[in-house]
Amino acid sequence: MGMFDTILIANRGEIACRVIRTARRLGIRTVAVYSEADANALHAATADTAILIGPAPARDSYLNIARILDAARRSGAQAIHPGYGFLSENAEFAAACTDAGIVFIGPPPEAIRAMGSKSAAKTLMQGAGVPLVPGYHGADQDPAHLASEAARIGYPVLIKASAGGGGKGMRVVDDADGFDAALALAMGEARSSFGDDTVLIERYLTRPRHIEIQVFADAHGNTVSLFERDCSIQRRHQKVIEEAPAPGMDPARRTSMGEAACAAARAIGYVGAGTVEFIVEGNEFFFMEMNTRLQVEHPVTEMITGQDLVEWQLLVASGALLPVPQDQLRIGGHAIEARVYAEDPDRDFMPAVGTLTHLQSPAEGAHVRVDTGVRPGDAIGVHYDPMIAKLIVWDRDRPAAVRRLAHALSEYQVVGVQTNLGLLRRIAAHPAFGAAELDTGFIGRHGADLLPRREPAPPAALAAAAMRVLQDRAGTTAVAGSHDPFSPWNLSTAWRMNGDGYQDMLLAEGDTVHAVRAHFCSGASVRLDLPGSAVEIAGDAMDGTRRTTPVVRTGNLLTIILDGTNYPLTLVDPLAPSQAEVEGGDRLLAPMPGRIVDVLVRPGDSVAQGDVLIVLEAMKVQMRLTAPRAGIVGALRAAPGDLVDDGAELVSFVQAEQSPPETP
What is the mean pLDDT of the segment spanning 70-74?
98
134-203 classified as CATH 3.30.1490.20: yes
Looking at per-residue confidence, does 121 or 44 come out higher?
Answer: 44
The model's pLDDT over 473-495, given as tens digits with 9 standing for 90+, comes to 887 655 445 555 555 545 455 55
Residue 125: its pLDDT value, please? 83
pLDDT averaged over the chain? 90
Residue 219: its pLDDT value, please? 97
Using alpha carbons, list the distances in angstroms from residue 26 to 3, 21, 529, 614: 9, 9, 60, 51
Residue 623: its pLDDT value, please? 78
Residue 464 has a CB neighbour count (10 Å cut-off) of 26
Is the pLDDT assigned to residue 501 strictly greater than 90? Answer: no
581-654 classified as CATH 3.40.50.720: no
Whether 462 contacts 507, CB under 8 Å: yes
Residue 320 has a CB neighbour count (10 Å cut-off) of 16
What is the mean pLDDT of the segment spanning 31-56?
97
What gap in Å lies between CA 449 and CA 201, rounded to an integer? Answer: 32
Residue 492 has a CB neighbour count (10 Å cut-off) of 17
Looking at per-residue confidence, does 548 or 387 come out higher?
Answer: 387
Whether 138 contacts 123, CB under 8 Å: no
What gap in Å lies between CA 257 and CA 277, rounded to an integer? Answer: 10
Whether 421 contacts 356, CB under 8 Å: no
Residue 168: its pLDDT value, please? 79
Whether 231 contacts 242, CB under 8 Å: yes
Lowest mean pLDDT among 142-156, 172-186, 277-291, 362-376: 277-291
Is the pLDDT assigned to residue 313 strictly greater than 90? Answer: yes
Pinpoint the residues of the chain covered by CATH 3.30.1490.20.
134-203
Give CATH for domain 210-450. Answer: 3.30.470.20
Residue 656 zone, left/alpha/beta (φ > 0; ψ -120 to 50; rest) = alpha
Whether 283 contacts 320, CB under 8 Å: no
Catalytic site positions: 293
Looking at per-residue confidence, does 282 or 574 come out higher?
Answer: 282
Residue 128: its pLDDT value, please? 75
What gap in Å lies between CA 189 and CA 183, rounded to an integer? Answer: 10
The model's pLDDT over 209-244, given as tens digits with 9 standing for 90+, comes to 999 999 999 999 999 999 999 999 999 889 999 999
What gap in Å lies between CA 518 and CA 588, rounded to an integer? Answer: 40
For residue 393, give the nearest of 371, 415, 369 by alpha carbon. Answer: 369
Strand 209-217 and strand 526-530: the pairing is unpaired
Residue 166: its pLDDT value, please? 66
Looking at per-residue confidence, does 572 or 465 come out higher?
Answer: 465
Pinpoint the residues of the chain covered by CATH 3.40.50.20.
6-105
Q: Hey, what amino acid is at 278?
A: F
3-state secondary structure (DSSP) of residue 116: helix
Is the pLDDT assigned to residue 83 strictly greater than 80? Answer: yes
- The CATH architecture one would assign to domain 6-105 is 3-Layer(aba) Sandwich (3.40)
Residue 282: its pLDDT value, please? 83
* DSSP character string of 611-662: -EEEEEEETTEEEEEE-SSSEEEEEE---TT-EE-TT-EEEEEE-TTSPPPP
Is the pLDDT assigned to residue 662 strictly greater than 70? Answer: no
What gap in Å lies between CA 578 and CA 586, rounded to an integer? Answer: 14
The model's pLDDT over 577-625, given as tens digits with 9 standing for 90+, comes to 544 444 444 788 887 778 899 999 999 999 988 889 999 887 666 778 8
Residue 581: its pLDDT value, please? 43
The model's pLDDT over 247-306, given as tens digits with 9 standing for 90+, comes to 999 999 999 999 999 999 998 999 999 999 999 988 889 998 899 999 999 999 999 999
CATH topology of domain 459-478+495-571: Glycoprotein, Type 4 Pilin (3.30.700)
Would you call 187 exposed, middle or buried from its count of C-beta atoms within 10 A (0-12, 13-18, 19+)?
A: buried
The model's pLDDT over 422-471, given as tens digits with 9 standing for 90+, comes to 999 999 999 999 999 999 999 999 999 999 988 899 999 999 999 999 99
φ, ψ (nearest 5 deg) of residue 520: -95, 120
